[in-house]
Chains A and B, each alone.
Chain A
Amino acid sequence: MLTRFSLMAALALGTATAAWAQDATPKDGGKFVFVAPYGNSITSLDVTATPHTQDEIVGKAINRSLYKWNPESGKPELDLAESVTVSDDGKTYTYKLKDATFHNGDKLDADDVLWSYNRLADPKKALPGAEQMLQIAGVAEYQAGKADHISGLKKIDDKTIEITFINLANPGWNLMSDFAPIYSKDYPEDQLASKPNGLGPFKLANYVPGSKVELVKFDDYFEKGKPHLDKLDIMLMGEAPARDVAFRNGEIDVNVLGPVQYEAYTQDAALKDHILEVAEVYTRNIGFNPKIEAFKDKRVRQAINYAINKDLIVEKLLKNKAYPAVSWLPISSPAFDKNAKPYAYDPEKAKELLKEAGFEKGLKFSVTATSNESWGLPIVEAIIPMLAKVGVTVTTDPVENSVLSDKILSDNFESFIWSNSSGPDPLKYLTCFYSKTPQNACNYVKFNNADFDKLIDQAGNETDPAKQNDILRQANNLLEEEAPVWFFNYNKAVMAYQPWVHGLKPNGAELAIQDYEDVWIDDSAPASRK
């Protein structure tokens, strides 16, 4: 099994790296036509007003944050700051800002950072990016109305800021978020949604709501020599069949693939050599609600994990566009345990466990599910006969996306099947199983285990990354043992790209989020791209 998982990870990263490594010297100029595949519209050009990936795809071109995610190293690194010093107690960070210019010509200074973070944390603004501010000291008090400013934010001089955090965790995980960009304090706030003014490599040229976002190169972008492209068009295309036709017709330069298209593209000689694959940080799972008596018993939850042949489902239904899951943290996580073994398909063991738990006569529960092909009703329909063999009867509760989250957040479910973030920050996403994390935050299955809590507390206070990963690995293994969910699969994100496109990165955090400033097109591109 070790060999299998190592091989899978190597394949995932290897395919991606191969695609990325073939790039030669970047060429400047031309137009890149990207797609935002998660719908036919975006919410807002002000990325702080939304939590949606679709908006982040656009926001990434326009804005910049204090940190950025490095898809190659799998770690956050400084972006708008050129250097940082950390205090002896590990909680106070002093950042020296880079010389950077906003699209309207304003120069970045310390007040912009303070203003942006105050705005994000302001409870009256009700911005989704507030979540990223919670690690800053004084934000909780500010949000509760007990303080009129955030005590952890301090301006040292025009180019230097000092931020104090409440714990020892790397603040880069939160402050690299594309939903927490730095805006100009002098720019009218009411124009952010229609005329964004960021520090990113591209500035807005034209926005056709419900169709596309056209961007042009920002000449004063702070990374010298970038971006390479003159123009970037982001097409808002939620329909996979339409994207397929447009990609094959050369109208768009990338296509994010689902399982069926993945199979077709990998078998097509003209397309199979330009496919980027990566193990993404999403864990597909069936969450068990402990308010159902049977799910309080660990043996029942384990039995369900043993009773389902997930390898078969991944192969037949998902066309291998996924990696069977071991526990919560995905393959690409630094805390993923390569020695851990997933639950084997063992119906006899499942029956034995159910008998031990007093359910030898069987049990019945419903799964709330959307129609999603990779983690919805088709999957539930596949597991029904498998669970029936061990005496477990499963019924379906079909819902649409927003109803699924509504039912989960209001504790109105027996079990659910969903795809949830499980990275890139292992601590943050394991904390979703911390007993004090409310159900309507992300502890959807109300997991409560003292040993697990202890490990999370230890990890939060550990400054050595290697030691922290060891602790998180133990926590992840404990989670596997406790089986609060059926661990189904980790998403394999797949993007097809045209042969003239270079510089795309295997971003395991979300493949559709790309560093556009590094993308370039070569001379083989058609005239419409030049």
Chain B
Amino acid sequence: MPAVDGRTRPPPAPTPCEAKPLMLRFIIRRSLQMIPTLLAVVLIIFVIFSVVPGSFISSLMAEGRNVMNAEVLAHLNEQFGLDKPLPVRLWDYLWGLAHFDLGISYRTREPVWNVIEPRLWPSIKLALTAMGFAAAVGVPLGFLAALKPGSVFDTGTMMLAVSGLSVPEFWLGLLLMYVFALQLGLLPSFGYQPGSIRHIILPAIALGVSPMALLARTTRAGVLDVMNADFVRTARAKGLSEPRLVRAHVARNVLVLVLTTLGLQIGSLMGQAIVIEKLFSWPGIGSLLVDSVATRDIPVVQGTVIVIVLWFLVINMLVDVAYAAIDPRIKVT
């Protein structure tokens, strides 16, 4: 967070006419910066899966149940280009990617996008709901704890935060299932129903507890920091009421920090949801990624990772844009 001097007048904010092209330029530049990041990710995934043992063909025999015809295996290798040298496969993939073609799934034999697309909205929905829970609980808790530092409430909140950060998601998910589904019978223990709020509550809480704890700690630290700043002391000396002080000066300054944490967390939640999605049979990107890695369905692994990385980059770009809206001292250039 930039140093704030209560006596210094902030630099003038750009007029709306100046801001629009500035913002557009910023978005375009950041979008272009995503390309090398994505390329690096594609290269890393490609190299990793070409050196790790196991292949799609061997995954077909992994059950040890059905005998596969050697002719079929040879044709599958040929059909998916797995018999070509690695550089050729990489070039083919990059060429396709340049034409917005993510390739064909080895497993389902469908275009990769057709495999990913139905998983996208459930993942986004779960990530947003988990983050909504985290923000709705974590930020007020952190705020209130910081307003009464050293109190029982503060100590209790921070204990909760530490527990939330350290508890394994799988265990927490099972605990929630046991209490709210099995013992209390309030919610379904698993599954996905489009439009159903009841089905999303438990996975969202299980996923949201860790970012909630992080937000509580971050908010508390931010509020304590701002509360001790010179401009707050000045405002208080001028006789500003405590509620107004908190609302107009503290909250606004802490918001940038909260937004940064929110952005980073929401960006990474889609990737972090793997365990929760599997546990709750939630049909998201995370469980697709695990299944695809296990069966070495490399095009889907790459496509899924690209989507997760894109999600992360776009969210963080939006956070940067939001900075400017919240704090006029921050320019998007």
Q: Is A493 an interface residue (CB 8 A)?
A: no
- A-B pairs, top 10 by smallest CB distance, nearest first, are A210-B283, A406-B58, A126-B75, A402-B59, A402-B54, A211-B283, A403-B54, A401-B62, A405-B61, A51-B66
In-complex Cβ contact of B280 among A43, A124, A127, A242 (8 A): A242
CB pair A43–B108 under 8 Å, yes or no, is: yes
Q: Which residue of A lies closest to B194 (CB)?
A: A208
The answer on a CB contact under 8 Å between B283 and A123 is: no
Give a binary string over B277-304; 1 marks a CB under 8 Å from any A CB, 0 the rest.
Answer: 1111111100110110011100000000
Q: Which of A131, A239, A420 is B64 in contact with, Cβ under 8 Å?
A: A420
Q: Are B66 and A245 in contact (CB under 8 A)?
A: no
Known: A211-B283, A402-B58. Is A128-B72 also a contact (CB below 8 A)?
yes
Q: Which residues of B contact A442 (CB under 8 A)?
A: 67
Name the B residues within 8 Å of A418 (CB-CB): 64
B67 touching A131, Cβ below 8 Å: yes
A residues less than 8 Å from B287 (CB atoms): 40-41, 210
The answer to whether A421 touches B64, judged by C-beta atoms less than 8 angstroms apart, is yes
Whether, in the assembled complex, B115 has its beta carbon less than 8 Å from a beta carbon of chain A, the answer is yes
Residues facing A in B125-176 (CB within 8 A) are 174
A44: nearest residue on chain B (CB-CB)? B108
Residue of B nearest to A131 (CB): B69
Is the pair B62, A404 in contact by a Cβ cutoff of 8 Å? yes
A510 to B66, CA, bound (A): 12
Bound-state CA distance A237–B181 (Å) is 17
A-B contacts, 6 listed (Cβ < 8 Å) = A128-B69, A131-B68, A212-B192, A401-B62, A402-B295, A406-B58
The answer to whether A193 touches B108, judged by C-beta atoms less than 8 angstroms apart, is yes
Task: Write out the residue numbers on chain B whose beta carbons fall within 8 Å of the beta carbon of A130.
Answer: 69, 71-72
Which of B72, B73, B118, B281 sits near A242, CB closer than 8 Å?
Answer: B281
Contact present for B63 and A53 (CB under 8 Å): yes
Interface check A238, CB cutoff 8 A: yes
Q: How far is the CB of A497 from chain B (nearest CB, A)?
A: 18
Is B224 part of the binding interface, using a Cβ–Cβ cutoff of 8 Å? no
**Chain A: interface size category:** 35 or more
Given contacts A40-B278, A44-B109, A245-B177, contact A208 B192 (CB under 8 A): yes
Q: A25: CB under 8 A from chain B?
A: no
Rounded to whole angstroms, the CA-CA distance of A80 and B314 in the bound complex is 55
**Does A419 reach chain B (CB closer than 8 Å)?**
yes
State the Cβ distance, A423 to closest chain B Cβ, in Å. Answer: 11
Nearest opposing residue in chain B for A210, CB measure: B283
State whether the Cβ of A353 lies closer than 8 Å to any Cβ in chain B: no
How far does the Cβ of B304 sit from chain A's closest Cβ, in whole Å? 12
Cβ of B108 and Cβ of A407 under 8 Å apart?
no
Chain A residues 189 to 209 lying within 8 A of chain B, measured CB to CB, are 193-194, 208-209
The reply on B272 being an interface residue by CB < 8 A is: no
Question: Are B69 and A237 in contact, with the CB atoms below 8 A?
Answer: no
- Tell me whether A51 and B189 are in contact (CB under 8 A): no
Q: Complex: how many Å from CA A282 to CA B107?
A: 25
Q: How far is the CA of A442 from the CA of B73 in the complex (A)?
A: 13
Give CA–CA (A440, B71) in the complex, Å.
11
Which residues from A are CB-within-8-Å of B177?
Answer: 242, 245
User: Are the C-beta atoms of B64 and A440 separated by less than 8 Å?
Assistant: no
Assuming A212-B191, A249-B181, A402-B59, is B53 touching A407 (CB within 8 A)? yes
| A81 cross-chain contacts in B, Cβ below 8 A | none
A39 at the interface (CB under 8 A from B): yes
**A460 touches B (CB below 8 Å):** no
Once bound together, how far apart are the Cα atoms of A406 and B62, in whole Å? Answer: 8
Nearest A residue to B61, CB-CB: A405
Contact B182 A249 (CB under 8 A): yes
Residues of chain B contacted by A50 (CB below 8 angstroms): 107
Least distance between A441 CB and chain B CB atoms (Å): 6
A431 and chain B: residue at smallest CB distance: B67
A131 touching B66, Cβ below 8 Å: yes
Contact of A403 among B58, B67, B109, B191 (CB under 8 A): B58
Chain B residues contacting A245 (CB-CB under 8 Å) are 174, 177-178, 181-182, 189-190
**A250-305: which have CB < 8 Å to B?**
251, 282
Give chain A interface residues in 399-436, CB to chain B under 8 Å.
Answer: 399-407, 409, 418-421, 428, 432
Name the interface residues of A28-73: CB closer than 8 Å to any CB of B: 38-41, 43-44, 49-53
Given A128-B60, A400-B294, A406-B54, A209-B119 contact (CB < 8 Å):
yes
Distance in Å from the Cβ of A401 to the closest Cβ of chain B?
Answer: 4
Residues of B within 8 A of A405 (CB): 54, 58-59, 61-62, 64
Chain A residue numbers with a CB within 8 Å of B191 are 211-212, 235, 251
Query: Residues of A contacting B69 with CB < 8 Å?
Result: 128, 130-131, 134, 441
With a cutoff of 8 Å between Cβ atoms, the chain B residues found around residue A124 in the complex are 75
- Residue on A nearest B76 in the bound complex, by CB: A126
Hey, which chain B residues are within 8 Å of A237, CB to CB?
A: 190, 281
Q: Output the nearest chain A residue to B114 by Cβ-Cβ distance.
A: A194
Asked whether B238 is an interface residue with its Cβ less than 8 Å from the other chain, the reply is: no
Q: Which residue of B lies closest to A243 (CB)?
A: B190
Q: Which residue on chain B has the smallest CB distance to residue A403? A: B54
Indicate if A487 sits at the interface (CB-CB under 8 A). no
Q: How far is the CB of A470 from chain B (nearest CB, A)?
A: 25
Q: Does A17 contact B (CB under 8 A)?
A: no
